[in-house]
Amino acid sequence: MRFHSPQKLKTIADLIGSAFVGPEDFEILGTNEIHMVKPGDIVFVNHPKYYDKALNSAATIILIDKEVECPEGKALLVSDDPFRDFNKINTHFTRIYNFTEELHDVEIGEGTKIHHSAVIGNNVKIGKNTLIFPNVVIGDRTEIGDNVIIQSNTVLGGDAFYYRKLNGNFDRLISVGNVVIENNVEIGNGCTIDRGVTDSTIIGEGSVLDNQIQIGHDTVIGKKCLIASQVGIAGCCIIGDEVTLWGQVGIASGNKIEAGSVLLGKTGVNRDLEKGTYIGMFAEDFKTYLKKEVKLRNLK
């Protein structure tokens, strides 16, 4: 999430009531999660296991639960609860409406047709010659390109599935990102595409999605991908251009699939994959799988 204008370290520290390490006027440009951070961003960390990763990331401001040695050129915000204060910062700069108010600051391009039963949030942009079917829900800040088709009962921009356990209950990390649907994308019936926590969930130009597909927060789908029914992609995944995912493929959080890959039906992914064709619960190379099957069948 980018702030509307740069903020100062002391301003953010005062907002959340935290101590800080660094010059009072140290510039802050926004917030982001660890896998997406850029210089000027705040990233939060609340476990010693991940201190080094956060401190050595591209982020230049680390919201942390213990004062540690601050890397040169960076700053710290020292909080007793970074998760809580990350939410506080994000919701201070991005208001959450969740369809409770209909401000409808919506831009709609020429030739676009939207069924009257569709529900559209605030600060939404829709391009030209796009077709939106009945009962589609489009959340706040969603951006949809030209020549897009979104079929019935699809939801764009729902909350990210991102929680921590706190006092025996689940505590949500509030989503202030958005969904971006690029030009010439087709999305089938009953799909759910969650908005980013602090960045964008992106469906690349020319990609086609079948029915009943779930795409998690901050995932990026490349251009001209083909995704069949009942595929589930967790958050923070990167799917390269022209990847094909057949029915019921499941991809765990934070994995990358190289461009041009094909994942056959019910393939499970728990690691990054180079370009290839894969099958099976743990994404086995298809040719290797076939050779193994031949050997097994020839056993006597």
Q: Which one of 35, 115, 116, 217 is the catalytic residue?
A: 217
**222 with 239: CB under 8 angstroms?**
yes
Q: For residues 224 and 131, what is the distance between their CA atoms, to the nearest angstrom?
A: 19
Residue 242: other Cβ atoms inside 10 A: 17
- Which residue blocks in the chain are alpha helix, DSSP H? 9-16, 51-55, 82-93, 286-298
Q: For residues 73 and 238, what is the distance between their CA atoms, to the nearest angstrom?
A: 30
Go through 261-279 and write b for each residue having 16 or more CB atoms within 10 A of its CB, e for each that does not: bbbbeebbbeeebeebebb
217 among known catalytic residues:
yes
**294 with 277: CB under 8 angstroms?**
no
- Count Cβ atoms within 10 A of the Cβ of residue 291 and give its class: 0-12 exposed, 13-18 middle, 19 or more buried: exposed
Residue 176: other Cβ atoms inside 10 A: 24
Q: For residues 225 and 232, what is the distance between their CA atoms, to the nearest angstrom?
A: 14
Helix (H) or strand (E) holding 244: strand 244-245
**110 with 127: CB under 8 angstroms?**
no
The residue with tokens 């942390």 is 64
Phi (first) and psi of residue 250, to 5 degrees: -125, 130
Distances (CA, A) of 243 to 31, 127, 181: 30, 25, 17
Tell me the Ramachandran region of residue 172: left when phi exceeds 0, alpha when psi lies from -120 to 50, beta otherwise: beta
Q: List, by residue number, the catalytic residues.
A: 217
